[in-house]
């Protein structure tokens, strides 16, 4: 079975299983989404969502984050892991938003990648969820794992995985597809002990066949 055929089968099933899949990070505006996505590195969305309510009450804008006292911000986000580095990224990214974008968030991949702490995954989340712009496919650990098991890619580098996925997933589905695969990875296709017996894609999944 070719990658194209397998991708079409997977898309059909994912659309039935997760038609309303959306970003799991709680946020009310693009600045909050950017901060939450930076915090999600090496951390679960569930944990991030436990931290951000009080964080967003305390820091209400890009300027608020830019002016944050480093030690106080670190304490607020400590439970997300790598908190010192994340605090530096958030403050520096927020400062650039203030200086270059009037406190707003840019709407192009090129501009977002200029922000400290932002790589393609974060930029794709912000553009897709924050602005509805299909710039690419978010490749986190779940997407990378599920895509490889389904035979949609053989590569492991997130940028290369994204290159493979955008060739077989229609652009109109890019934003939704990321969230659907992430949901599937959490619910069924987990890293350890995947529930292949429950998976609606097990009839054509190479990993299940193995």
d(Cα 45, Cα 117) in Å, to the nearest integer? 17
Is 164 known to be catalytic? no
Active-site residue, from 121, 164, 167, 198:
121
Is 15 known to be catalytic? no
Active-site residue, from 45, 96, 140, 164:
140
Q: So which residues are the catalytic ones?
A: 121, 140
């Amino acid at each position: 079975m070719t990658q194209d055929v397998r991708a079409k089968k997977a898309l059909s099933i994912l659309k039935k299983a997760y038609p309303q899949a959306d970003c799991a990070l709680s946020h009310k505006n693009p600045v909050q989404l950017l901060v939450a996505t930076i915090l999600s590195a090496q951390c679960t969305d569930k944990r991030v969502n436990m931290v951000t309510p009080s964080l967003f009450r305390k820091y209400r804008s890009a300027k608020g984050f830019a002016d944050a006292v480093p030690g106080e911000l670190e304490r607020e986000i400590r439970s997300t892991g790598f908190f010192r580095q994340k605090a530096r990224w958030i403050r520096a990214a927020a400062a650039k938003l203030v200086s270059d974008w009037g406190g707003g968030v840019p709407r192009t991949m090129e501009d977002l990648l200029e922000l400290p702490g932002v790589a393609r995954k974060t930029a794709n989340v912000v553009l897709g969820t924050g602005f509805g712009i299909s710039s690419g496919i978010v490749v986190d650990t779940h997407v990378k794992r599920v895509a490889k098991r389904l035979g949609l890619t053989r590569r492991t580098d997130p940028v290369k995985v994204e290159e493979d996925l955008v060739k077989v997933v229609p652009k109109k589905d890019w934003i939704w597809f990321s969230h659907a695969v992430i949901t599937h990875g959490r619910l069924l296709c987990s890293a350890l002990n995947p529930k292949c017996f429950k998976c609606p894609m097990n009839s054509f999944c190479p990993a299940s066949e193995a």
